[in-house]
Structure 1
Amino acid sequence: MKNSTLILLKAQFLNQSGVNTFRYENDKNKKNKMVIFAFAMTITVIMMVVYCFMMAYGLGSIGLSGIIPGYAFTITSLIVMLFTIFKASGTLFAFKDYDMLMSLPVKTTTVITSRFLLMYEMNVLFCILVMLPMGTAYGMFAHPQILFYVLWVISIFVTPLVPMTIAAALGAIISAISSKFKHTNMINIILSFVVTIGFMGASMSAGTMSGGQINIKQLASLGTMLTHKMNQIYPLVSIFEKGVCQYNIIAFISFLVISVIWYFVFVKVVSIKYKAINTGLTSHQTKSNYKLKSSKVTSTFRALHRKEIKRFFSSYLYVLNVGMGAVLLLALSITCFIFGIDKLQRLMGIPNIKGIMTNFAPFVMSGMLAMTCTTSVSLSLEGKNLWILLSAPIEAATIYRSKMAVNITLLLPVSLLSSILMKLCLKPSIMSTVWMFITPLAYVGLTSVWGIYINLKFPNFEWESEVTVIKQSIASLFGILGGMLFGFIPMVILLILPGIDRNLIMGVITLLVIGITSILYIKVCGTKLPK
């Protein structure tokens, strides 16, 4: 049993990580792409470690070092939970080689364990990147005993278990419900979005501070309040803090036992309905009353556009990982519209929040829209079917335009609706309203062209699982990071140039975005399809 689990885990890891490509591939271009991807991931890891350390160091410098361990544990658990919800379908359920694995002489629990451990490996790495630097910062201020560091390192490897099993259980429930419907994949996507947004909303609500500005003299009570809020979000925090920070060995053992038992119960329960859930997710209903009618003739572009739209919504993993930015923006805009600016100011305790939101809203909206970049992986997802496009009498530019049009089709209504809702909430001036509409639309165009440009530079057609393209490719990484930077850099410019007219900065940045989009568009349309 143990050997079977390890063999399956090793095979899955080598398949998705690209290690075999680097070790055995003779094509230097492919190896170079792997090196570039590793370099990009290294930069991302360094940025994440520095950010986590500085965040914990900031808490310690204002006298709140006591909440750092609980805070690190809470945010790590929450983010692990959110990311696991996205991974559950495609990694644990409805994965490509399901039929092959289930035909092997291994138990269902062995398959579940190997798939779960694959997610666990990635989440442990994430826990190390968050908790290790934050624990280091805590040690600089609190000067704990050596035992703290021992318990802290052990807890890093245990922390993911409970949030992962909760998220995977939610994923199992969502998958079980959606498998009962005709349009299984669409129901699965909708339920996942609802659960994710509802979970994030509940977490934010539990963590909301009230009572206006915090005085420095109230830092002690603030620490107590934040600890209480973290316990509201995740009750296991109190046991963790007692065990690690107060050196309560009984509490720490309780934390370990709860986490491990929770995992074993999950595996046993899911194994009962595992085959039924996967059968429902991977099977398709067909109608027997088909009647031949007259066929509709359409243009090449519209046919390709329709094909791309269907491809996008046919993949649960594609929609959830690429489309989350747009969904979160829409949820944020609706929340702001419902609450209103006055109530938001009272809830968040930030004075003059209207002016801050008015200044940064166009770029926050643009950054979130830019994170939804379907084109960064759409070409690679053609995979082994690329020969169909290569052999068809279709210009490469038409294919690229159809893929860019899909991204625009998804983002354009979200951009306009979010701009309308934010305008009604903030009631900005005429020029601010103009930028609130024009700037996000400019970023929609940039994102659509940028994605296909990056995918042409770093294509990957030799994949076995779409997880490799959507979550682990260079193009996917640059698509997401590019979107974040596109929105982040202008906000930094606004902060470091407070004396310059804001409308002038908005106009220059928007024109610059339009100019870059035009240049990239010309380059993309003049590029042949890769072979």
Structure 2
Amino acid sequence: MKNKCFLLMKVQLLGQFRGKEKKRGTVVMMAAYLFVDVMIAAYSFLVAAGLGAMELSYMIPGFALAITSVITLFFTVLKANGVLFAYRDYELLLSFPIKTGTVIASRFLSMYLMNLLFTAVVMLPMGAGYVIWEHPGIGFYPIWLLGMMAAPLLPTTAATVIGALIILFTSRFRHANVLTTVLTIGITSVIMVLSFGLSGMDEGDILVQELNQLGQVMLGAIHRLYPLSVLFERAVISFDMFSFFTFLLLSIGWYLIFLKLVSLKYKSMNTALMSWHARSDYKLGTLKTSSPLMAVCRKEAKRFFGCPMYTTNMGIGLVMMVLFGVALAVMGPEKLEKWVNIPGMSEGITKVLPFMIAMLQCMSCTTCVSLSLEGRNLWILKSLPLDKKTVYQGKILFNLLLTVPAGILVSLLIAVRIPMSAWEVLFLFIIPVVYAVFISVLGMYINIKFPKYDWTSEAAVVKQSASSMAGIFAGMFNALIPLILMLVLQGMFAKIFEVFLVVLEGGLAYFLYRHVIKLDF
């Protein structure tokens, strides 16, 4: 059983990261992963070093475990449906002489290994910072390493349980995929709100100025955010073996219980989610027609909203953008600054708001994966009486219809709530629209150059493909760099820079579009 489990896990991981992509696509993907890992590791070490410099190094173990666990929970909720449930080769795997529990374990362990990689990138640098400031004994090292390996188990299992409960509930309805998507996004939004809410502190929480008492307040917030961090903290700081083994037992035991419970309903859950429900009261009506462009756009919409993995991962940027806009409109900059605990956020926020909206929009670039998601059905698209220009236009149009209205809505909420000059209001609307156009065209170009059609799960395209990584990060950094510059520029220089960016992004979008429509897919 163990050999079969690891063999299935190996095949799945190879299918996600190795396929028929061009070699340069794999290089782009690995370079993007390496860049992100280095940035996260550097930031984690700096956080640990900062806590040590403030004589708050005792916070490092609890903080390291809590932050990795919450982020793991957040992102695993987004991908559980599509990796563990409703994946393309489900029927093929179940036809093999393999136990259902082995299939579940192999797919869960593949998610665990991906989450373990992120956990290691965060906890190893933070552990190094703790060693520099505290000089712990030799017993620290096995406790930290074993704790790091166990850390992803509970949040990964909890996220998968959430996915399983969503599927058990939605499988009774006709539009199971759509309802699954809605519930997944809703629960993910709740996790984001609670994470910020529990970590934020009001001024009333800090009654004295002594740094040690401030550390205790912050440590209490960490424990509320992730209660299991108390056990790990005691094990690291006090070498409390009872707390350490309790932490390991809870993490591993929860996984074993999950494996047993899901095995009981695994087949029925996948069957319900992957089945098509026909209407019993079908009546012949009027045949509706539309232009080829709108037909392609409508097809993209059906694929996007009909695939929970696609919707949750590519739509999460828009969800974050709307939540940010609503929070800013309801609370105002000052209260929001206290809530999310980011000092100085309210100062000069009107200058960077357009770029914050644009950056979150760029996280929802569907065009960078829309061609790849055709998969083995690409021949159908090629056989239709459509020219490539119409196909590209339809996919770009859908991304614009998805991102532009959301950006305008958020800009309107902010413009009504926060006092701004006419110039700031104008560019609050213009910049997100221009960036949405640019990232839509850029994503299309990237996906043409780095396609991935030989996938068995949407996760391989949406989360691990070269085109996905290149499209999302290119769009985000395209907005992040101007955002940082706007914090420095003042007065007329800031206005000239905004005009320059609008002209530059619009011009690049136009010339890139003229090039894209000449390419073959």
Task: Report the residue type matching 1:322 in the other structure.
Answer: M
Deviation string, structure 1 residues 498-519 (Cα, Å, up to 9, x no partner): 4763322222222222122122
Of stretches 236-245 and 211-220 in structure 1, the one that deviates more from structure 2 is 211-220
Task: Report the residue type matching 1:374 in the other structure.
Answer: T
Distance in 1, Cα, partners of 2:270 & 2:417: 44
**In the alignment, does 2:384 pair up with 1:392?**
yes
Of stretches 173-182 and 97-106 in structure 1, the one that deviates more from structure 2 is 97-106
User: What is the RMSD computed on CA atoms of the aligned residues?
Assistant: 2.1
Instruction: Give 2:487's match in structure 1, choosing from 489, 495, 508.
Output: 495
Deviation of the 1:350 alpha carbon: 6.8
Instruction: Give 1:245's match in structure 2, choosing from 216, 234, 237.
Output: 237
Task: Report the residue type matching 2:243 in the other structure.
Answer: A
Distance in 1, Cα, partners of 2:114 & 2:327: 32
Instruction: Give 2:366's match in structure 1, choosing from 370, 374, 391.
Output: 374
Task: Report the residue type matching 2:134 in the other structure.
Answer: A
Instruction: Give 1:256's match in structure 2, choosing from 248, 251, 272.
Output: 248
Of stretches 505-514 and 231-240 in structure 1, the one that deviates more from structure 2 is 505-514
Distance in 1, Cα, partners of 2:410 & 2:229: 36
Instruction: Give 2:471's match in structure 1, choosing from 473, 476, 479.
Output: 479
Question: For residue 428 of structure 1, what is the aligned residue in structure 2?
Answer: 420
Residues 352 and 158 of structure 1: is their aligned pair in 2 closer, same or farther, counting only changes over 3 Å? closer
Deviation of the 1:348 alpha carbon: 5.5
Distance in 1, Cα, partners of 2:109 & 2:205: 44
Deviation string, structure 1 residues 462-506 (Cα, Å, up to 9, x no partner): 333322211111100011111220221012212343476332222
Residues 350 and 472 of structure 1: is their aligned pair in 2 closer, same or farther, counting only changes over 3 Å? closer
Residues 477 and 128 of structure 1: is their aligned pair in 2 closer, same or farther, counting only changes over 3 Å? same
Question: For residue 8 of structure 2, what is the aligned residue in structure 1?
Answer: 8
Deviation of the 1:222 alpha carbon: 1.4
Task: Report the residue type matching 2:84 in the other structure.
Answer: L
Question: For residue 17 of structure 1, what is the aligned residue in structure 2?
Answer: 17
Report if aligned partners of 1:207, 1:233 keep a CA contact under 8 Å in 2: yes
Within 5 A, what are the aligned runs for 1:126-205?
A: 126-205=118-197
Residues 214 and 268 of structure 1: is their aligned pair in 2 closer, same or farther, counting only changes over 3 Å? same
Distance in 1, Cα, partners of 2:176 & 2:202: 42
Within 5 A, what are the aligned runs for 1:324-335?
A: 324-335=316-327
| SS, match of residue 172 in structure 2 | coil
Deviation of the 1:353 alpha carbon: 4.9
Q: Unaligned regions of 5+ residues in structure 2, if any? A: none
Task: Report the residue type matching 1:225 in the other structure.
Answer: V
**In the alignment, does 2:518 pair up with 1:526?**
yes
Report if aligned partners of 1:432, 1:503 keep a CA contact under 8 Å in 2: no
**In the alignment, does 2:275 pair up with 1:283?**
yes
Task: Report the residue type matching 2:180 in the other structure.
Answer: N
| SS, match of residue 301 in structure 1 | helix
Q: Whose relative contact order is higher, 1 or 2, with alpha carbons under 8 Å and at least 6 apart?
A: 2
Instruction: Give 2:447's match in structure 1, choosing from 447, 451, 455.
Output: 455
Of stretches 352-361 and 202-211 in structure 1, the one that deviates more from structure 2 is 352-361
Residues 342 and 57 of structure 1: is their aligned pair in 2 closer, same or farther, counting only changes over 3 Å? closer
Residues 215 and 458 of structure 1: is their aligned pair in 2 closer, same or farther, counting only changes over 3 Å? farther
| SS, match of residue 461 in structure 1 | coil
Task: Report the residue type matching 2:12 in the other structure.
Answer: Q
Distance in 2, Cα, partners of 1:357 & 1:174: 38
Task: Report the residue type matching 1:519 in the other structure.
Answer: F
Deviation string, structure 1 residues 338-369 (Cα, Å, up to 9, x no partner): 22345335546777754432122111111000
Instruction: Give 1:78's match in structure 2, choosing from 56, 64, 70.
Output: 70
Distance in 2, Cα, partners of 1:252 & 1:68: 16
How does the TM-score come out when normalised to structure 2? 0.95
Residues 215 and 511 of structure 1: is their aligned pair in 2 closer, same or farther, counting only changes over 3 Å? farther
Report if aligned partners of 1:53, 1:137 keep a CA contact under 8 Å in 2: yes
Deviation of the 1:43 alpha carbon: 2.2
Deviation string, structure 1 residues 177-226 (Cα, Å, up to 9, x no partner): 11111110110001001111111111211111111898995321111011
Of stretches 361-370 and 50-59 in structure 1, the one that deviates more from structure 2 is 50-59
Instruction: Give 1:56's match in structure 2, choosing from 34, 48, 56.
Output: 48
Q: Unaligned regions of 5+ residues in structure 1, if any? A: none
Report if aligned partners of 1:324, 1:372 keep a CA contact under 8 Å in 2: yes
Question: For residue 39 of structure 2, what is the aligned residue in structure 1?
Answer: 47
How does the TM-score come out when normalised to structure 1? 0.93
Report if aligned partners of 1:354, 1:426 keep a CA contact under 8 Å in 2: no
Deviation string, structure 1 residues 389-439 (Cα, Å, up to 9, x no partner): 333332211111100001001111101110011112212121111111111
Residues 258 and 518 of structure 1: is their aligned pair in 2 closer, same or farther, counting only changes over 3 Å? same
Report if aligned partners of 1:212, 1:348 keep a CA contact under 8 Å in 2: no
Residues 280 and 336 of structure 1: is their aligned pair in 2 closer, same or farther, counting only changes over 3 Å? same
Distance in 2, Cα, partners of 1:184 & 1:165: 22
Report if aligned partners of 2:373, 2:461 keep a CA contact under 8 Å in 1: yes
Within 5 A, what are the aligned runs for 1:202-351?
A: 202-211=194-203, 217-345=209-337, 347=339
Q: Percent identity?
A: 39
Within 5 A, what are the aligned runs for 1:439-450?
A: 439-450=431-442
Deviation string, structure 1 residues 303-354 (Cα, Å, up to 9, x no partner): 1111111111121111111110011101111122222345335546777754
Deviation of the 1:63 alpha carbon: 2.6
Distance in 2, Cα, partners of 1:439 & 1:301: 26
Distance in 1, Cα, partners of 2:485 & 2:108: 43
Runs of 4+ in 1 over 6 A off after TM superposition: 212-216, 349-352
**In the alignment, does 2:106 pair up with 1:114?**
yes
Distance in 1, Cα, partners of 2:49 & 2:491: 30
Residues 350 and 448 of structure 1: is their aligned pair in 2 closer, same or farther, counting only changes over 3 Å? closer
Report if aligned partners of 2:223, 2:230 keep a CA contact under 8 Å in 1: yes
Distance in 1, Cα, partners of 2:364 & 2:342: 29
Task: Report the residue type matching 2:7 in the other structure.
Answer: I
Within 5 A, what are the aligned runs for 1:345-364?
A: 345=337, 347=339, 353-364=345-356
Distance in 1, Cα, partners of 2:466 & 2:344: 41
Report if aligned partners of 1:37, 1:473 keep a CA contact under 8 Å in 2: yes
**In the alignment, does 2:435 pair up with 1:408?**
no
Distance in 2, Cα, partners of 1:49 & 1:204: 22
Report if aligned partners of 2:199, 2:340 keep a CA contact under 8 Å in 1: no
Report if aligned partners of 1:231, 1:237 keep a CA contact under 8 Å in 2: yes
